[in-house]
Amino acid sequence: MEKNNWLSNPHLYSHGCTLSAYGINFDSESFLSEISFDPELVIFKGQMGYKTFEWVGEVKPRDKEIFEYSHLILKVSKSEAHPTQVDEAALFLKQYQKEIKRLSEFPQVETVSLQFSVAEGELRENLSRDFMDLAFGCGISSVLS
């Protein structure tokens, strides 16, 4: 895999918890100008690339359908341990509740999801009702654990 390929971005597939939003006509640049947290990864409609530490990497499209959506992906937790991911995600949701709700209501955002990824062999705990209420109260439409 080429080093400038967005798929090789370690922030995308590493263990932890990510918050992602996407939509066909989602204007992620406009949303980014209104929020107080920095995304780990931004994929724009019509191109593919990521912004990490003010560096942009672009790749040539392999599948045109991939480029129909704009994505915004934020790393919420970098821990490999599921209980720590859940605790850090809960703190993140509480701290940025207004911004996440605004993201979920932003024009052309179709889905806002929270995804947990643990190391192989790591145990996953069931998410509490309080956590799910917090997530759905922020406008998150799906939680994948």
The answer to the question of residue 1 being in a domain is: no
Contact predicate 73/40, CB 8 Å: yes
Q: How high does pLDDT run on average in the chain?
A: 73
Report the C-alpha dihedral over residues 96, 99, 101, 106, rounded to 10 degrees: -160
Quick one: pLDDT at residue 132? 93
The answer to the question of residue 65 being in a domain is: yes
128, 134, 127, 131: which is closest to 97 by C-alpha? 134
The answer to the question of residue 58 being in a domain is: yes
Quick one: pLDDT at residue 53? 35
Mean pLDDT, residues 120-137 taken together: 85
The answer to the question of residue 75 being in a domain is: yes
Mean pLDDT, residues 62-79 taken together: 68
Distance CA(123)–CA(121), nearest Å, equals: 6
The answer to the question of residue 36 being in a domain is: yes
Instruction: Give yes or no for residue 44 having a pLDDT over 50.
Output: yes
Question: What is the SS3 assignment for 89?
Answer: helix
The answer to the question of residue 23 being in a domain is: yes
Distance CA(116)–CA(121), nearest Å, equals: 14
Quick one: pLDDT at residue 13? 53
What tens digit of pLDDT does each residue of 48-65 get?
444 433 344 444 444 444
What tens digit of pLDDT does each residue of 81-128 get?
889 999 999 999 999 899 899 999 988 898 999 988 876 766 677 889
Start-to-end Cα distance in the chain = 28
The answer to the question of residue 26 being in a domain is: yes
Note down the domain range covering 89: 6-144
The answer to the question of residue 107 being in a domain is: yes
- Greatest Cα pair distance in the chain: 43
Q: How many domains does the chain have?
A: 1
Mean pLDDT, residues 69-82 taken together: 81
% of the chain beyond a pLDDT of 90: 23
